[in-house]
Structure 1
Amino acid sequence: MATRRRFLAGVLAAGLMPIRGWASVGNPKYLSAARRPKGGYVLVGLRGDGALAFEVDLPARGHAAAAHPERAEAVAFARRPGTYAVVLDCSDGTVLARLEAPQGRHFYGHGTFSRDGRRLFTTENDFDGAAGVIGVWDAANGYRRLGEFASGGIGPHEIVHVPELELFAVANGGIQTHPETGREKLNLRTMRPNLTYVDGEGSVAQRVQLPDEWRLNSVRHLSVGPRGQVAFAMQWQGDAWDAPVLLGLHVLRQAPVFCEAPEAPHLAMKGYAGSVAYCGSKNWVAISSPRGGFVQRFDSASGRFLGAVGAADVCGINGSRGGMIATTGTGLVIGIEDRISARHPLSFDNHLIAL
Structure 2
Amino acid sequence: MTTRRRFLAGFLAAGLTPQVSWADIGNPSFLSAAKLADGSYRLFGLTSEGTALFSVPLQGRGHAAAAHPTKAEAVAFARRPGTFAQVIDCCSGLVLAELQTPQGRHFMGHGAFTADGRLLLTPENDFEQGTGQIGIWDRTTQYTRVGEFASGGVGPHDIVRLPGSDHFVIANGGIDTHPESGRTPLNLATMRANLALFDLDYGATEITELDIALRLNSIRHLSLRSDGMVGFAMQWQGNSSDVPPLIGLYHPGSVKEPQLMQAPDALHRGMKNYAGSIAFSADGNQIAISSPRGGMVQAFDVAETRFTGHWGETDVCGLNANTSGYIATSGSGRIVRYSTSGAAKAVDHPVAWDNHLVALTA
Under TM normalisation by the shorter chain, which class is it?
A: over 0.9
Match of 1:52 in 2: 52
Match of 1:5 in 2: none
Distance in 2 (alpha carbons) for counterparts of 1:17 and 1:328: 34
1:341 maps to: 346
Is the Cα contact below 8 Å between 2:163 and 2:226 reproduced in 1? no
* Structure 1 segment 104-119 matched on structure 2, within 5 A: 104-119=104-119
* TM-score scaled by length of structure 1: 0.93
Q: 1 CA distance for matches of 2:115 and 2:226?
A: 16
How many Å separate the matches in 1 of 2:214 and 2:323?
34
The aligned runs of 1:1-355 (5 Å cut-off) are 17-164=17-164, 166-201=166-201, 203-252=203-252, 253=254, 254-337=256-339, 339-355=344-360
CA drift at 1:327:
0.3
Tell me the SS of whatever aligns to 1:267. Answer: helix
Q: Supply the distance in 2 between the matched residues of 1:150 and 1:130 (Cα, whole angstroms).
A: 12
- Once the 2 structures are TM-superposed, how far is the Cα of residue 184 of structure 1 from its aligned partner? 1.5
For 2:103 and 2:210, locate their aligned partners in 1 and report how far apart those are by CA, in whole Å.
32
Following superposition, the deviation at residue 61 of structure 1 comes to: 0.3
How many residues of Structure 1 are paired with residues of Structure 2 in the alignment?
341
Quick one: distance in 1 between partners of 2:295 and 2:51?
A: 22
Q: Is the Cα contact below 8 Å between 1:104 and 1:128 reproduced in 2?
A: yes
- Structure 2 stretches lacking a partner, 5+ long: 1-10
C-alpha distance in structure 2 between counterparts of 1:164 and 1:205, whole Å: 17
Distance 2:179 2:295 in 1: 30
Pairwise CA distance, 1:164: 4.7
Following superposition, the deviation at residue 125 of structure 1 comes to 0.7
2:5 matched residue in structure 1: none
Deviations 1:97-137 (Å, cap 9, x if unpaired)?
00000111110111011111111000001111110000000
Q: What amino acid is the match of 1:191?
A: M
Give the equivalent residue in structure 2 for 1:8: none
The CA distance in 1 between the partners of 2:30 and 2:48, in whole Å, is 8
Distance 1:133 1:276 in 2: 23
Counterpart residue type for residue 73 of structure 1? E
Cα distance, 1:255 vs structure 2: 1.1
Give me the whole-angstrom Cα distance separating, in 2, the residues matched to 1:202 and 1:180.
35
Residue identity matched to 1:341:
A
What is the CA–CA distance in structure 2 between the aligned matches of 1:66 and 1:291, rounded to whole Å? 25
TM-score relative to the length of structure 2 = 0.91
Tell me how far 1:174 sits from its aligned partner: 0.4
Write out per-residue CA displacement over residues 249-293 of structure 1, whole angstroms, 9 at most, x where no aligned residue.
011222111112110110000000000111113510110000000
Q: For 1:331, give the aligned amino acid.
A: G
Structure 1, unaligned runs of 5 or more:
1-10
Residue type at the aligned position of 1:345: P
Any idea what the Cα deviations from partners look like across 1:122-159, whole Å, max 9, x if unmatched?
Answer: 00011111100000000122100011000000000111
Structure 1 counterpart of 2:46, one-letter code? L
Q: CA deviation at 1:201?
A: 4.2
Q: Which whole-Å CA distance do the structure 1 matches of 2:213 and 2:165 have between them?
A: 30
> What is the rounded CA distance, in whole Å, between the counterparts of 1:287 and 1:45 in structure 2?
22
Q: Deviations over 1:210-250 (max 9, x none)?
A: 11111000000001013110011000011233131000101
Select between 133-142 and 197-206 the one with higher mean Cα deviation: 197-206
- CA-to-aligned-CA distance 1:77-113 (integer Å, 9 cap, x gap): 0011111100001112100000000111110111011
User: Which letter does structure 2 place at the counterpart of 1:226?
Assistant: S
2:24 partner SS: helix
Take 2:303 and 2:64, find their aligned partners in 1: how far apart are those partners?
28
Letter in 2 for 1:286: A
Q: Give 2:98's aligned amino acid.
A: R
User: Displaced runs of 4+ in structure 1, greater than 6 A?
Assistant: none
Deviates more, 1:21-30 or 1:90-99: 21-30
- 8 Å CA contact retained: 1:136, 1:147: yes
| Matched letter for residue 72 of structure 1 | A
Segment of structure 1 superposing worse, 305-314 or 254-263 = 254-263
Q: 1:340 corresponds to which letter in structure 2?
A: K
Deviations 1:300-348 (A, max 9, x none): 2221111111100000000144532000000001111255321100000
